[in-house]
Amino acid sequence: MAPNPAPTALWPAPHASEAVDATVHVPGSKSVTNRALVLAALASEPGWLRRPLRSRDTLLMAAALREMGVGIEEGVGPDGTGETWRVLPAGLRGPATVDVGNAGTVMRFLPPVAALADGPIRFDGDPRSYERPLNGVIDALRVLGARIDDDGRGALPLTVHGGGALDGGPVEIDASSSSQFVSALLLSGPRFNQGVEVRHTGSALPSMPHIRMTVDMLRSVGAQVDTPESGGEPNVWRVTPGALLGRDLTIEPDLSNAQPFLAAALVTGGRIVVPDWPARTTQPGDRLREIFTEMGGSCELTEYGLVFTASGAIHGIDVDLGEVGELTPGIAAVAALADSPSTLRGVAHLRLHETDRLAALTKEINELGGDVTETADGLHIRPRRLHGGIFHTYEDHRMATAGAIIGLAVEGVRIENVATTAKTLPDFPELWTGMLGA
Ligand SMILES: O=C(O)C1=C[C@@H](OP(=O)(O)O)[C@@H](O)[C@H](O)C1
Ligand SMILES: C=C(OP(=O)(O)O)C(=O)O
């Protein structure tokens, strides 16, 4: 966690004087949009993404692919409706420079794509991107035949010297620090000469739903993938070499970004409707239906979407969030307002996310009068009466939305740099005030 930046821009978090009752149209999923962009770029024919998320992380992904020669055009879908990106795959080429910002999906998913390009591709990003682990991807790509120049730390910045093709084959990695290492190798795997066999050898692998999302999306564009769940060995994924289809894909709403709005219903005793909540999805945010029900709400999933209704009470929870780590900041915020203590476990890897999220949540909730302690792999949260103050966000979009949740219930919370929500939800302040009817 970086030291507190000077709190130049402070956003007075709206305080809710009554229960929220609103319908919130949540923009598209970051994780689905960025996988769809990579798969469309690697396909053998054009494809369409409908209702893609347009946020910092996805615009960086699109810009990087364009840099490598891929055509991504603004347009309307094949049936003439909806905002769409048309992706025109082309021979990938360098020299090119990729700005990853602080997007885990860009810094992990694109080096394997760059290894397929013809020419050098330089990767650089925000200062925090230098601290986020990338060793699993770098080491694996070298084993699979790539040439990479880095400074030996297993992190950015680096240059991938693409040779136009990559051998591929079997590789062992320790992905306990990020599931994105596995997803990265699988996504480009169909284009490696021998495909790829990824064997995870480390301790617990986080964020399994995101790996399932990768596998599902690969299969939907025609790739053959064998997984532990389809009868393969535990911790081993195999992708067969082959051409990928161009698809017409509508991007689901981002269920992790639906979290602050559902939390708003919980903490104000209100009701939120999220249209187009998918009936079946690999997104980890779908677990919110279960988690926020245990914390005091109830869910009705209809053809229109999700109707989430609070009971008025907020209960603490004891839960392993290892599969759904990105939900931790929002759950911690609700837990700080609950009627009983909470224990959030299985999320040690959050120390290497946008910021050290365990340290940041502890410090910021405690500075508002809370009682949070860090454990080896999570947080203990004992609810206390909170007071207003500055909620620092450490350039972490989910810290900003966590602070906004607390601000609904606690007067005088001011959020530093709410604009950092642009990483995945540029419209957050407007959606939030819109939800409150302001
Ligand atoms: O593959 C993905 O789209 C993601 C995987 C997860 O990463 P980690 O496994 O590094 O936590 C998640 O936290 C991140 O927000 C998105
Ligand atoms: C961890 C996250 O992002 P990234 O894709 O940068 O890892 C997140 O969005 O919570």
d(CA 223, CA 150): 31
Query: Is 357 one of the annotated binding-site residues?
Result: yes
Residue 334 tokens, joined: 């609700």
d(CA 347, CA 325): 6
Residue 189 tokens, joined: 């795997």
Distance 103 CA to ligand 1 centre (A): 10
Cα 83 to the center of its chain, rounded Å:
22
Stretch among 69-78, 285-294, 365-374, 393-402 having the lowest mean pLDDT: 69-78
Residue 86: pLDDT above 80? yes
pTM equals: 0.97
> What residue's CA is closest to ligand 2, atom 8?
326
Q: Scanning the structure block, which residue is given the tokens 């079997």?
A: 170
d(CA 93, CA 79): 32
* Whole-number average pLDDT of the chain: 96
Note the pLDDT tens digit of each residue in 32-85.
Answer: 999 999 999 999 999 999 999 999 999 999 999 999 999 999 887 666 666 899
Q: Which CATH superfamily is domain 10-27+253-435 in?
A: Enolpyruvate transferase domain (3.65.10.10)
- For the beta carbon of residue 161, count every other beta carbon within 10 angstroms: 15
d(CA 331, CA 347): 12
Report percent pLDDT > 70 for the chain: 97
Q: Does 210 sit in the ligand 2 pocket, CB within 6 Å?
A: no
Q: How much is the pLDDT for 83?
A: 86
Of 258, 298, 306, which is closest to residue 425 (Cα–Cα)?
A: 258
Query: Is 283 one of the annotated binding-site residues?
Result: no
Of 265, 333, 327, which is closest to residue 291 (Cα–Cα)?
A: 327
Residue 279: pLDDT above 50? yes
Distance 350 CA to ligand 2 centre (A): 9
- The H-assigned helical ranges of 269-373 are 288-294, 328-335, 357-367
Q: Which of the four pLDDT bands, split at 50, 70 and 90, describes residue 232?
A: confident
- For the beta carbon of residue 234, count every other beta carbon within 10 angstroms: 8
Note the pLDDT tens digit of each residue in 313-347.
Answer: 999 999 999 999 999 999 999 999 999 999 999 99
Residue to mutate (ligand 1; options 131, 210, 323; most atoms within 8 A of CB): 210
> What residue's CA is closest to ligand 1, atom 13?
326
- What's the fold here for domain 30-250? UDP-n-acetylglucosamine1-carboxyvinyl-transferase; Chain (3.65.10)
Positions of CATH 3.65.10.10 in the chain: 10-27+253-435, 30-250
Report percent pLDDT > 90 for the chain: 95
Residue to mutate (ligand 2; options 58, 110, 182, 326; most atoms within 8 A of CB): 326
Q: How much is the pLDDT for 7?
A: 47
Residue 173: pLDDT above 70? yes
